[in-house]
Structure 1
């Protein structure tokens, strides 16, 4: 059989490959590991005509054809090794502190026998990248995200814990907006603009954070992921609206009960008065109030779908292959 020629794009480098149509995806992933140092279980391939098939399927069955351009996303072994080394050092310090506390025999009064939810379900470390401009501002933004009342609310409710909250360097991974390493070991967020002349808006970065928190539970961007991610965004919007209104209930009579998590999320944004996600509507002066609200809701749902698709396309997280 005639070989197929494909090109792999990874962080600005192009790697041409020639494969027989009967070659398996497992073989392709091993070749890519040799070229890029990205382990097979961390590789995510993006290309037109992609099909969900097992690793022993052929590249032809996976939708790869002659001339296909493929984008490879995933952390390298060196990056993961650095994270593990940092985590190991942190664990060593915690062990030393525990041993000191035990030797001191200090008795502490407590009203609870278990750690508080705030201490367990949180971001345990904040680490801006010191080699990038203005790291103090990056730290302030990461701290604001970590202490955002709505984010803390959903983390406690869903029992999410993250080891390290840090940032992505635009010049190193320009195609990524977020990355979740090992289901919560670390979350990396794109904080800065392409030219390092400022930071992305807070709500944009926080929405990426909700996306990456969902990867604590679900690896692939399947229906389970979409449902939970939409629920998290809805709960963030509801929490903020409840805080502003002094209540924990959505009781606007102009909306019917939502039929899906996405609709509930959009409804929460509309009721919260969001100007970022509402989008333009086609309402006219003759529309009834209910019709205008319906059109605004539809426009908001469309905007949310587009934004979430962009996050999926620019997310470096994927589930390990079985």
Structure 2
């Protein structure tokens, strides 16, 4: 007989096996499902019992409990529902016809000093190839892109009525100059995420991060000016079917539980969208 005592779930467990025992005879002592039990010997996972020896040897048993399996299934169900809600929100977005004036119908700087520089900055945002590609793929249109008034010092930007007005802070707090272009872009992408989601929840933050990834991905790409589409670059707007199930599950769970970066938190705190 092979006999030994071990601790399992905080209790002593006596194991008695015949000399001709097979591997599943051992694993079944811990869990009827052999796929939930791993046996380690000499630091490696084994799939059969070591050969009998006169000297004792050590094995390590790793067991996944049924409670852990149930918890994993609950997380998978949560991820699946989050994916479903996200896709439904994207599918329900309003449809627009492509218009000649582009994706931002009106550009309106404020009547302040260096108005022309503010206008140039707004036009630069409008004509940014990465921004145009994002707007094209999601069929988004903004009626008025304007400058946020400097008196609203606690706000970096807002999106009113999902594209009726998008206002951005262009100038520094002391009004002596203009904010960095990349910082303004990140605020714009944040406000564009409000084209789909109103609340700053996990769905919103996932879309916001997706827009930022797309913006960086499109930099330096050759664009087709007639449609705005990227040439020879695969689009990742449609989420379903784009990734393996396990990878997609991990991404969804991470997106649902991860904390905001300092920059994301600052932009959210400065968002005036309602």
What's the TM-score once normalised by structure 2's chain length? 0.52
Inter-partner Cα distance in structure 2 for 1:313 and 1:146: 24
| 2:190 counterpart SS class | helix
Inter-partner Cα distance in structure 2 for 1:263 and 1:124: 37
The root-mean-square deviation of aligned C-alpha atoms, in Å, is 3.2
| 1:169 counterpart SS class | coil
Q: Write the deviation string for residues 124-159 of structure 1: whole angstroms up to 9, x where unpaired.
A: 0000001x2111100000000001000000000011
The answer to whether the 8 Å contact 1:120/1:161 transfers is: no
Of residues 202, 210, 233, the one that matches 1:248 is 233
Inter-partner Cα distance in structure 2 for 1:150 and 1:261: 25
- Mind listing any 5+ residue stretches in structure 2 that lack a counterpart? 1-95, 224-230, 236-246
The answer to whether the 8 Å contact 1:230/1:261 transfers is: no
| Alignment of 1:183 onto 2:162 | yes
Look up the match of 1:316: 272
Look up the match of 2:176: 197
The answer to whether the 8 Å contact 1:234/1:261 transfers is: no
Inter-partner Cα distance in structure 2 for 1:241 and 1:128: 28
Q: Write the deviation string for residues 159-214 of structure 1: whole angstroms up to 9, x where unpaired.
A: 110000001122x1101001111111000000000111110010000110000011
Inter-partner Cα distance in structure 1 for 2:185 and 2:198: 19
| Alignment of 1:139 onto 2:119 | yes
| Alignment of 1:163 onto 2:143 | yes
| Alignment of 1:237 onto 2:216 | yes
- State the aligned residue count: 160
| 1:119 counterpart SS class | coil
Inter-partner Cα distance in structure 2 for 1:142 and 1:188: 10
Q: Write the deviation string for residues 246-268 of structure 1: whole angstroms up to 9, x where unpaired.
A: 96379xxxxxx79538999xxxx
Task: Summarize the alignment of residues 74-85 of structure 1 with structure 2, pairs less than 5 Å apart.
Answer: none
Of residues 92, 106, 110, the one that matches 1:125 is 106
Inter-partner Cα distance in structure 2 for 1:219 and 1:143: 26
| Alignment of 1:220 onto 2:202 | no
Residues 140 and 263 of structure 1, relative CA distance in 2, 3 Å threshold: farther
Inter-partner Cα distance in structure 2 for 1:211 and 1:142: 16
Inter-partner Cα distance in structure 1 for 2:174 and 2:197: 33
Structure 1 position 243, deviation (Å) = 4.7
Residues 207 and 224 of structure 1, relative CA distance in 2, 3 Å threshold: same
